[in-house]
Amino acid sequence: MQWHFIDFSDSRHLVVQTGCKQRCCSTWRLQAGLGGSFWARNHLGWLLILSKIYGNVFTVYFGPRKAVVLSGYETIKDALLNHAEEFGERAEIPIFRQMTQGNGIAFSHGELWKTMRRFTLSTLRDFGMGKRTIELRILEEVNSLIKYFESYQGKPFDTKMILNNSVSNVICSILFGERFEYDDPEFLTLLKMINENTKLLASKTVLQNVSELGDFLQKLFQEHKEEFNESNLTGFVDAFLMKQQQESKKPHTMFSNRNLLFSTLDLFTAGTETTSTTVRWGLLLMMKYPEIQRKIQEEMNHVIEPGELPKLEDRKKMPYTDAVIHEIQRFANIVPMGVSRSTPRDVNFQGYVIPKGTEIIPLLTSALNDELHWKTPDQFNPSHFLDASGNFIRREAFIPFSIGRRACLGEGLARMELFLFFAGLLRKFVFQPPPGVDKSDLDLTADVGFTLNPMPHLVCAVPYK
């Protein structure tokens, strides 16, 4: 088997190398955008095209950066599950390295990553993740969000910031043991910077934002240190501070202030952006497909008591709603390239030798749109998750949280939030386009950054009767 090398370095020429002979295959006009940046708008589409030309394993150059792309569900599963150790490290991407210096959870390596991940999972469980206590916190936030939506009295408004505020308050309650008011100026600034960071990964603004985010979090850490009571731990930060005290005499403890900062920032970012963006996609899709929205509300009428909001225990009795939420995740595909992995040693994979330290891009969008697993991958179709009798069915190729050792550790929380926020809002409102905007005018094109966001739009939340 032979490697195919595709060079995007000047965003104009596609150079393909077969074996050790290099030839100019063709001249392509790629969007200059961010030069050779990984996040340039057209690169996602090009990677999908290249996978059809060169197969499910190929190498690309983003400027000077070399990466191996894995495409298609079977290939991604083979790499991340069957060869979990060989593809289990996080890639050394310069902008992330500069931001974190290898601290935290998302971009750490080796024993540090194992220790931080193990501690984080254990602590999140201790503070309610997956339990009734966190469900009550989410429902409290859903009620606050409903009141905010009601204040617009059916008039058009942008849901972006308020959904970020509301969803982030759930992770804040786990991290800090408190929530923030929606109009808190420091909180709004924090969310604005996180949102910018998911769109501007190639920009120096990101580093400035991370510095300011660090200052904001350090103030919160100091407050928790001053009020620390080991018999009354309020959240993740307190649990980390207690671990610091327990290991204070260890010369090489991993529970440093830098790891506290970046672990908290990792959890805050991951616990806000992806879930709120998915809910935004969901509301946009409900405006686009009102017949699907009506069917969800009819199902809830048979399951939920009047005046009540859906609870997690209701999900198994709401297969259509569950299918729609899963299809929103599949269709919106908000983290299309996952987060890059790397090979800790030379790897033999599907006939290829991948050198140690190679960046690996698991093209999650190729699994979520794999024609071998989805009947109509290009269409929004909740029946992808329903059998002939209307029962909910799980689909193997549904991997929006990735899979393997580096899969999203907040998947359980995100699944709870998506159901409770989305179903709760549809229980109270019918979502419609603004006056003068037809559903056919609604744009489902993605605004491309690190995540795929809906284009700016307004919604009308009309009380459901």
* Neighbour tally for 10: CB within 10 Å: 12
Using CA atoms, how far residue 60 sits from 20, 90, 94, 355, in Å, is 15, 18, 17, 14
408 is an annotated ligand-binding site residue:
yes
Beta bridge partner(s), residue 361: 69
Helix or strand holding residue 461 (H, E)? strand 460-463
Task: Pick left, alpha or beta for residue 71 (phi over 0 → left; psi -120 to 50 → alpha; otherwise beta).
Answer: beta
φ, ψ (nearest 5 deg) of residue 430: -105, 125
Using CA atoms, how far residue 98 sits from 201, 231, 254, 255, in Å, is 12, 37, 19, 20
State how far the Cα of 338 lies from the Cα of 334, in Å rounded to an integer: 9
Residue 358: closest CA among 375, 339, 377, 345:
345
Residue 411: closest CA among 257, 270, 304:
270
Helix or strand holding residue 165 (H, E)? helix 160-175
State how far the Cα of 220 lies from the Cα of 172, in Å rounded to an integer: 11
State how far the Cα of 105 lies from the Cα of 2, in Å rounded to an integer: 36
State how far the Cα of 296 lies from the Cα of 426, in Å rounded to an integer: 8
Helix or strand holding residue 51 (H, E)? helix 43-54
Q: Which residues contact 378 (CB under 8 A, 6 or more apart)?
A: 369
Task: Pick left, alpha or beta for residue 436 (phi over 0 → left; psi -120 to 50 → alpha; otherwise beta).
Answer: left
* Neighbour tally for 428: CB within 10 Å: 18
Beta bridge partner(s), residue 57: 70
DSSP 379: S
Residue 269: closest CA among 107, 132, 382, 429:
107
Q: Show binding-site residues for heme.
A: 408
Q: Show binding-site residues.
A: 408
